[in-house]
Amino acid sequence: KAVDGISYNVHEGEVLGIVGESGCGKSVSAMSVMKLIPNPPGRIVDGSVLFEGEDLVTLPEPGMRQIRGNRIAMVFQEPMTSLNPVLTIGRQLTETLELHQGLSKDAALGRAAELLDRVGIPEAGQRLKDYPHQFSGGMRQRVMIAIALSCDPKLIIADEPTTALDVTIQAQILELMQDLAKEFGTALIIITHNLGVVARYADRVIVMYAGKIIEEGSAEQIFHDPMHAYTRGLLASVPRLDATEHKKLQTIEGLPPDLVDPPPGCGFQPRCQKTPCKCSEAPPEIIEAKKGHFIVDCKCCRK
């Protein structure tokens, strides 16, 4: 299972960061919320996704089409492949507005220009006639954010929204998303492997490993009081500017488990420094170790 038994919530106006190494299930969990998992090969076999009291898992596809891009929007990691290269930016914005908001063509064009201006694209009215290849990477991501905001969604899921962007543009995009989430009361989920991004912009953080949540807490709790060995290993492996010239980067020994044939107990057990781990026979449960700070109850992996 790419994702197995995870459970979390996100509140209005909150920025939730989901972190973990590649293949841990971050993006699959988000695609499951949107019911965008290709079937075959993937499918949702159990569980529920509750959004405003409605279970999206049991919702028929016509109902999901009314939610995607309307009440829940998604910003993907590569805008060049997410935007249609043969349609103008204006057409791609107005299509959403006409479909979900019922606006006329002229009203939709006016609203589209407002949205481009709101996300910081100069000469917004003229740029509606341009195609995706005529925008820089950062500007294309701003267009994606404008499309995501077009119908005033209650939830935005941003999957690696700053991939392939330089550092200064990354900061601009993330600050824009954070500001807009606070301004409109929109819940925002940021999926990333960049711990610096989460430390700066997230209110609450979830750490995933091998398809499961292993630790959850406020950004302050995760970064200043990490309790799981994997979380501590991730933080220790971040390169530091103040490191001495010959200091080696820290690593987490071993490899993530095979999710096709996972170990019977704690997924981190093969890499745990306290092997043999006492949780090697049955998967540990999530417990609240401190107020608002949750961790898998593996005595070997937690401090």
Query: Does 21 or 294 have the greater pLDDT score?
Result: 294
Which of 70-84, 111-125, 252-266 has the weakest average pLDDT?
252-266
Instruction: Dump pLDDT digits (tens) for 139-155.
Output: 999 999 999 989 889 99
| Closest CA relative to residue 286, chosen from 14, 1, 8, 3 | 8
List all residues 6 or more positions away from 224 whose beta carbon is below 8 Å from its beta carbon: none
220 C-beta neighbours (distance < 10 Å), count: 13
On whether the CB atoms of residues 230 and 302 are closer than 8 A, the answer is no
Task: Give backbone dihedrals phi and psi of 254, rounded to 5 degrees, phi first.
Answer: 90, -175
Q: Can you give the pLDDT at residue 290?
A: 92
| Closest CA relative to residue 108, chosen from 94, 92, 126, 128 | 94
Count of residues making up the chain: 303
Model's pTM, two decimal places? 0.90
Residue with tokens 């106006």: 13
Structure tokens given for 279? 């949780």
Structure tokens given for 129? 């006639």
DSSP per-residue string spanning 24-89:
SSHHHHHHHHTT---TTT----S---EETTEESTTS-HHHHHHHBTTTEEEE-S-HHHHS-TTS-H
Separate counts of helices (H) and strands (E) for the chain: 11, 10
Average pLDDT of the residues in 24-40 = 88
Give the whole-angstrom CA distance, residue 201 versus residue 131: 31
**Does residue 82 register a pLDDT over 80?**
yes
Q: Can you give the pLDDT at residue 297?
A: 83
Instruction: Dump pLDDT digits (tens) for 220-262.
Output: 999 999 999 899 989 988 877 776 777 788 888 888 888 887 7
Domains of the chain: 15-202 (3.40.50.300), 208-240+248-296 (no CATH)
Structure tokens given for 283? 């998967």
Q: Can you give the pLDDT at residue 63?
A: 93
Crossing angle, helix 89-96 and helix 137-149, to 10 degrees?
Answer: 20
Instruction: Please give the biggest Cα pair distance in the chain.
Output: 67
What CA dihedral angle connects 200, 202, 206 and 211, to 10 degrees? -90
93 C-beta neighbours (distance < 10 Å), count: 23
Residue with tokens 């799981």: 228
Does residue 184 sit in helix, strand or coil?
helix
Residue with tokens 């499918």: 43
Average pLDDT of the residues in 95-122 = 93
